[in-house]
Amino acid sequence: MKNSGDYFFKNAEKNRASAKYDRALGLYKKALKFFKRNNDVTGVLNCFLSIADTLRAKGDFIKAQTYYKEGLNLAEILDDTASEADALAGLGLCDRALGRWKNALEQINKSYRIYKFLNDKNGEAFSLWAKAGAYRISGNIKKALQIYQSSLKKFKFLKNKSGVSYSYCGLGGSSRVAKRFGDSEKYYRLANKNFQGLNDRFGLAYSYCGLGNARRMHGDYKQALVFFNRAAKLYKKIGDRVSYAYTLW
């Protein structure tokens, strides 16, 4: 039904999938208002988590954490363990982005245990990917590379092309820090090719930035700038201020 909570939520999901984050946030908030008015607690929970995911994608990690915490509290009241795991993973990713890698690992490990208990294979692979990134932030690059390989293996088995591509990006970044510049470029190229097929604008921006760094490490500054400019344009269009700033840097 038009102008219902479900109508706004479905449209918000479509916009988020296209990386139209500001439009998605406006629609999620309209849906949230409807669900609250009708005492639809499941709808409210889904909105909390989706708003949080969208804010995190935009780089607004502090505000995203507020919504993840709201979602976590509601999931615990409803005894919705799957949503609990999603909220914990989201909180961990926000902590990771803010440099709080110890907190991040704590939250992500909790989410992993729940996903494992629920036999949610995609959730397990996702939390491994998140965990690897936290180890990278901590400076344990060897551990990060090992866990990214595990998430890649799981996503490949599940035929989850998006998960595979983000694992490639994780491997690309960690390989660069490990001074394996050839591996770094290889992984980012694989990710970029996949993201083009998936029409994932955020993923494309991420992989272009990685390719720019890979070329920079090879001393090919001209091509590096081509890739960085592509990444910057996409990040600016998406509205991800943090990634845009990093690309400019």
Question: How high is the pLDDT of residue 240?
Answer: 81
Residues sharing a CB contact under 8 Å with residue 94, sequence separation 6 or more, in sequence order:
56, 61, 62, 64, 65, 68
Predicted local distance difference test score (pLDDT) of residue 2? 64
Residues 6+ apart with CB under 8 A from 212: 224, 225, 226, 227, 228, 231, 247
Whole-angstrom distance, CA of residue 174 vs CA of residue 135: 10
Instruction: Please choose, from the candidates 226, 205, 242, the residue with its C-alpha nearest in 3D space to the C-alpha of residue 93.
Output: 242
pLDDT one digit per residue (tens) for the chain, 249 residues: 566 889 999 999 999 988 899 999 999 999 999 999 999 999 999 999 999 999 999 989 999 999 999 999 999 999 999 999 999 999 999 999 999 999 999 999 999 999 999 999 999 999 999 999 999 999 999 999 999 999 999 999 999 999 999 999 999 999 999 999 999 999 999 999 999 999 899 999 999 999 999 999 999 999 999 999 999 999 988 888 888 888 988
Burial of residue 13 (CB within 10 Å: 0-12, 13-18, 19+) is middle
User: How many angstroms separate the CA atoms of 123 and 115, rounded?
Assistant: 6
Closest CA to 226 of 206, 208, 199: 208
pLDDT (0 to 100) of residue 1: 57
Q: What is the pLDDT of residue 178?
A: 96
Residue-level pLDDT at 3: 65
pLDDT of residue 162: 96
From residue 36, give the alpha-carbon distance in Å to each of 44, 53, 99. 6, 20, 34
Tokens read off for 120:
């949610």
